[in-house]
């Protein structure tokens, strides 16, 4: 939160503009301030400031939860669309849930896992619901985007990512662990040298 008078200083203005924090400008005049999430006109009350902040948080949370990057697509949960460049397809609520479920699980999910998570079916239920939904979703995506590899399947289940990507992540994590271990060893060695 800052007063609009501080914007006269270019260094402070640049700092505020580049900040990822929520920006609430307090001003003596009613006016729009670019790159601010809200403007509170003085005089004001603590209750008005609190309401303004609650509204900003709600808006930010809504926007954050409404659009998700999936591979090289954008999943708009509010409009139930999968978008790539200027093309889009309309999704059902279950298709949105299915994509989100697969996105949030790095490991393949079995038909039973998907049934219980999305449809709340028993593991023992004998149904082709998952296969039918995935078939229709793949068909929609392939027709519009010519992408036959959006949802993949293997012996372990359905997933969004190829094994090479999983191997890349494993390699990356191992590299990070190794680097952290090396840094820890270096610190121990330098401590021992100081003690000698």
Q: Domain ends where: 32, 65, 98?
A: 65
39-42: long-range contacts at Cβ-Cβ below 8 A with a sequence spacing of 24 or more?
39/4, 40/1
Total domains in the fold of the chain: 2
Please report the pLDDT score of residue 164 as a whole number.
44
Give the mean model confidence (pLDDT) for residues 152-179. 70
**What order do you get walking across the sheet with 2-3 strand by strand?**
2-3, 24-27, 38-41
Residues 52, 96: one domain?
A: no
Q: What is the pLDDT of residue 163?
A: 54
Determine the structural domain holding residue 23 and report its residue range.
2-65
Q: Answer whether 0.75 is exceeded by the pTM.
A: no
For residue 82, tell me if it sits in a domain. Answer: yes
Domain co-membership, 46 together with 84: no
Residue 152 placed within a domain:
yes
Per-residue pLDDT averaged across 183-187, rounded? 77
Across the chain, mean pLDDT equals 84
- Say which CATH number the domain at 98 has: 1.10.10.10
Tell me: the pLDDT tens digits for 84-140?
998 999 999 999 999 999 988 888 999 989 998 998 876 666 678 899 999 999 999
Whether 185 is in a domain gets the answer no
**Nearest-CA neighbor of 119 among 128, 18, 161?**
128
Cα separation of 93 and 111, whole Å? 18
> Tokens 């902040």 appear where?
53
CA distance linking residue 173 with residue 179, whole number of Å: 10
């Amino acid at each position: 939160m800052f007063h609009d008078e501080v914007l006269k200083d270019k260094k402070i203005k640049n700092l505020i503009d580049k900040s990822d924090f929520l920006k609430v400008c307090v001003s003596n005049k009613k006016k729009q301030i670019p790159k601010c999430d809200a403007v509170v006109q003085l005089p004001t009350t603590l209750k008005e400031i609190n309401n303004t902040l609650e509204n900003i948080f709600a808006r930010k949370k809504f926007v954050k939860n409404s659009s998700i990057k999936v591979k090289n697509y954008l999943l708009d949960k509010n409009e139930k669309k999968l978008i790539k460049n200027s093309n889009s397809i309309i999704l059902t609520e279950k298709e949105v849930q299915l994509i989100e479920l697969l996105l949030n699980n790095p490991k393949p999910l079995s038909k039973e896992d998907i049934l219980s998570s999305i449809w709340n079916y028993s593991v023992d239920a004998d149904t082709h619901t998952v296969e039918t939904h995935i078939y229709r979703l793949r068909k929609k995506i392939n027709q519009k985007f010519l992408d036959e590899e959006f949802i993949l399947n293997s012996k372990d289940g359905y997933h969004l990512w190829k094994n090479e990507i999983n191997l890349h992540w494993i390699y990356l994590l191992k590299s990070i662990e190794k680097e952290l271990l090396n840094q820890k060893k270096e610190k121990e060695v330098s401590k021992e040298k100081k003690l000698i």
